Structure 1
């Protein structure tokens, strides 16, 4: 799918990715660190992580289609290289969301010793924070490189002119 209603699909899909990555990251981190939030957020976060897992490769595929329709530049190459990491980022967020979901199920059953639940909670929280922060930083990097590739020298001060 390279176009939607005459517009490049990549441009439209990217907006969902830019919203979903930080949203899922915050949901995963809050669910991992705060048991009261986990009760309410774990399954909506898991659903959004699943949507992100599906949408990210579609966005990358649409981006590759768009890449062949524009001039090749070093900035575009940088954006493409960074963008190629996003399916892995989405997979990491999905895995973290599933880990938090598993913690929630195990904790709610009450069948594990409290010490083991605490250890699992600490490990899950550590994974959630690392993956959540990393994913948010990476989506920023990819988005910034895409904006630079698209808009550099097109708005603001023209290249070579002083402000």
Structure 2
């Protein structure tokens, strides 16, 4: 049994904000770190930790969403949102794996350079790796960002398709 309600509010409604913020931030950080070694050195261990927190937030959110799905009227919009939500986990796994690989590769290169010179120095990672990591990071980052957008758009449509009026309502004084 997961975390379903927080102060009487469905947990999914709260958790979704974590995913909507962290996945794009992680994607952007990953691309920046893969492209610029100086950014990677500044981020350090924060990059894979951020990616791990993003990864963990996805199944928490989808689990809470599955609970919510059982407690709202089912319709095509809700089902579409749930289907799209299930497709985010592979993207978040990919973000984590590439972030960990980029961090580990840059850290290893810096350690080797320090051992070779006997002092703290920063090595550059081989250009083919940097190019491959940059392209892969960009593809995964854009894919994850697009998927978050698609999920959010479908969730907003499912939640609000008949919950508001296009015209302002008179005050109820």
Normalization by structure 2: what TM-score? 0.84
Larger radius of gyration: 2
Matched, 1:18 2:27: no
Distance 1:60 1:36, change over 3 A: same
Counterparts of residues 1-163 of structure 1 (less than 5 Å): 1-110=3-112, 117-157=126-166
Shift of residue 110, structure 1, vs aligned partner: 3.9
**Which runs of structure 1 show a deviation greater than 3 angstroms over 4 or more consecutive aligned residues?**
none
* Cα distance in 2 between the residues matched to 1:38 and 1:95: 15
User: 1:156 Cα shift?
Assistant: 4.1
Distance 2:125 2:37 in 1: 15
Q: Deviations over 1:64-98 (max 9, x none)?
A: 00000000111111100000012112101101111
Is contact 1:10–1:59 with CA below 8 Å preserved after alignment? Answer: yes
Greater percentage in helix: 1
CA distance in 1, matches of 2:130, 2:111: 15
How many angstroms does 1:126 deviate by?
A: 1.0
- Which stretches in structure 1 are left out of the alignment for 5+ residues? 159-163
Indicate if the aligned counterparts of 2:106 and 2:125 stay in contact, CA closer than 8 A: no
Change (3 A) 1:103 1:9: same
Structure 1 residues 40-69: Cα deviation after superposition (integer angstroms, max 9, x where no partner): 124212111111111211110000000000
Unaligned segments of structure 2, at least 5 residues:
114-122, 168-173
Instruction: Give the alignment's Cα RMSD to 1 decimal.
Output: 1.7
CA contact (8 A) 2:48 2:100 kept: yes
